[in-house]
Structure formats: structure tokens, C-alpha cells
Structure 1
Amino acid sequence: MKQLNTKKLAFLAVMVALQIVFTRTLGIDLGSVQRISFSFIPVTLASAVVGPIPSGIASAVADILGFVTKPTGPYFPGFTFNAFLGAAIYGYFFYKKELTLKRIILANVVATLVVNVCLGTVWVHMLTGSPYGPLFAAKLPFQGLMLVIKIVVQALILKRLVDEAARMFQ
């Protein structure tokens, strides 16, 4: 992993702050297990600009700080792992790569299925004891809708945001 300079650390700090604001302040909770949020914007931007590991760490930090500042239930490290893994997946697909529609779709499908649907369902099952099957089935429509929203938003703005952020580091 390449050394992070002061500018990139400051950039990550701003992305962490934006994730917390987008999730905890501007997010809309739908029950105890679903949330509408645009926190994926700073996550994917950080992933594309600084890479999978630094953005994963920043997302994990945002998850912990967000919980400390505005808890919405018990703390569970599985969700922090999901934050890290989701950002790392985006970083794998976006960092130093051309941001094509195909790449955006693939990254979002992988992140949604692995992190949000599969692992997220496992964590909720472990926390609540609810049967896995119905939880899984209940997550699919919402995650399908969020998948489409993420793809459309990223296709419209991610390349421009990455180009602007890259200019800061030249």
C-alpha cells in the first residue's frame, strides 16, 4: 500500500464526515434493519481516489464514529466489517481504473449481494434470532431498489467527482 500523504488523509477525513452525515443525519431508517442513505457517494469516491484498503479503514472508522455519535441499536462489529468490505470492493473495482458503466454495475452488484444481502442478513439474524430465510427475502426488494439508485447516481456523477478529487492531489 502506497503511503498516504497529508492531503489524502484530510480527504479521507472529509469522506468519513460525509458518510456520518449522510447516514446518521440525512439517512431515513425503515425499521431496525433498512436505511435509505446516500452515504455510498463518499464511500465510492474515497474508494476510487485512495484505493481499497485506506477507504475500507475510513469506512470502518465512519461506522464506529457514527455509532458513537448517534446509535440506532446495539453495536455489532459485523456491520463495521461490512463497511470495510463494501468500500474495499468498490476500491477493487474503481481504484486506478476507467469508470465504465459495466464496471459500476458489476461493483454494485457484487457489493450489494455479498455485503448488504448475504452478510447483512447473517448479522441481523445473529442479532435478532429471526429466521434467515424471511430476513433474506425481505431484504431483496429494498436492496434491488437501492442497487438501481446507486448505479444511476454513480454513473451520473462518480467520474466527475473522481476527476475533481484527482486534481487536488496533482
Structure 2
Amino acid sequence: MTKTKRLVLSSLFIVLSIILTRLLSFRFNLFGVESIRIGFGTLPIMISAFTLGPGYGFLVGALADFFGYWINPMGPYVPYFTITSGLYGLLPGLVFYYLFKKEVKFWNFAISYLAGGIVGISITPYLIHSLWGVPYAVLIPPRIVSLAIKFFLYPMIISMLYKRVPQLDQITHSTI
């Protein structure tokens, strides 16, 4: 795959992530800070990691957060959240590429998703707690429920996309 195609696909995934995160998510504020966001903004980040590789997954996640903030800010810009957004692409990509050798199966996607989902229940609550003092008792339970639901939902969506869009499988198995 050419670098131009990778750039175009990465840009598409960035835009999709921004739209799904900033415009089509439900946000809940606790103690004056956005503490819980329910949406599918990390899905394009993970798909980019599965199709283009962990490095592109990290870049798509980080750039989606960075540009998303400037398009539609939701509070102060905190670079730590840009890094955690990048980890949503890096960690699942590493697991999928190096542990599962890019084998397209539901459980490979599910376990790879779990690698990124751990960021959502560990690093993100830690940052929110450290920066704004929101108690862990408020932050952790909804994230665990979200992780449990998305553990099955995200791999199902990704598996369906891979079956319906054969180009994704071809891109995944091309030399990167």
C-alpha cells in the first residue's frame, strides 16, 4: 500500500473519530467536569490500528484528539489525554499485529480491544482524578460497564466490517 493511501485512510479515520467523539457522543458532567462520555469515538482509532498498524493507530488517536479539541473544545486542552487517545490505537494494534499475527477473528479483535480498553478504566480515570479531583468511585464503575459492553460490541462491528468490506482485509494483510 502506498503512503498516499495510508495518509488518506488515516485522515478518514481521524475525521470519523472526531465526529463520533465530539458530535455524536453523550456526555455527563460530574463535579463540574466531563467524567463520562458514551460514544464510539475510539472505534475508528482501533480500526486504523488493525488495518494500518499500531503506529498509525497511535497517530490517528493522538491527532483525532488534538484536532478534535481545536474544532470542538470540551474544557482545557490537556496533552495527557492526547497521549491516552493515541494509546487506544497503539495497544490494540500491537496485540493484533504481534500476538495474533493479523489473523481476522472475533476473539482476536476482542482481546486486542481489551488492551486499549484498559486505558479507559485505568489511565483516563487517574488523570481526571489527579487533575480535577473527581473521586474514583464515580469514575470507575461506569467505565467498567462500558468496557464490558464494548468488549463484545466493538469486535462484532469490526468483524462485520471486515466481512462486508473486503478491502480492509486486503489492507491488513498487505506489507506495511
- TM-score range normalised by the length of the shorter chain: 0.7 to 0.9
Q: C-alpha separation between the residues in 1 aligned to 2:53 and 2:156?
A: 21
Q: Would you say 1:164 and 2:167 are equivalent positions?
A: yes
Q: C-alpha separation between the residues in 1 aligned to 2:73 and 2:25?
A: 13
Report the equivalent of 1:18: 16
Change (3 A) 1:168 1:106: closer
Report the equivalent of 2:116: 111
- Secondary structure of the residue aligned to 2:103 is coil
User: Which residues in structure 2 correspond to 1:16-165 (within 5 Å)?
Assistant: 16-31=14-29, 32-95=34-97, 96-113=101-118, 115-130=119-134, 134-135=135-136, 137-162=137-162, 163-165=166-168
Gaps of 5+ in 1: none
Q: 1:102 Cα deviation (Å)?
A: 3.2
Gaps of 5+ in 2: none
Residue 70 of structure 2 aligns with an amino acid whose one-letter code is V
Report the equivalent of 1:7: 5
CA RMSD of aligned residues (A): 2.2
Q: 1:160 Cα deviation (Å)?
A: 3.8
Q: C-alpha separation between the residues in 2 aligned to 1:47 and 1:27?
A: 21
For residues 22-77 of structure 1, the C-alpha deviation after alignment (integer angstroms, 9 at most, x for no partner) is 00010111111110111122111101001111110111011010000111111111
Identity in percent: 27
8 Å contact 1:47–1:90 — kept in the other structure? yes
Residue 116 of structure 1 aligns with an amino acid whose one-letter code is G
The size of the alignment, in residue pairs, is 163
- Secondary structure of the residue aligned to 2:122 is helix
Residue range with higher mean Cα deviation, 100-109 or 6-15:
100-109
Q: C-alpha separation between the residues in 1 aligned to 2:110 and 2:138?
A: 22
8 Å contact 1:45–1:161 — kept in the other structure? no
**TM-score normalised to the size of structure 2?**
0.82
Q: 1:4 Cα deviation (Å)?
A: 5.7
Change (3 A) 1:160 1:102: closer
Change (3 A) 1:112 1:56: same
**TM-score normalised to the size of structure 1?**
0.84
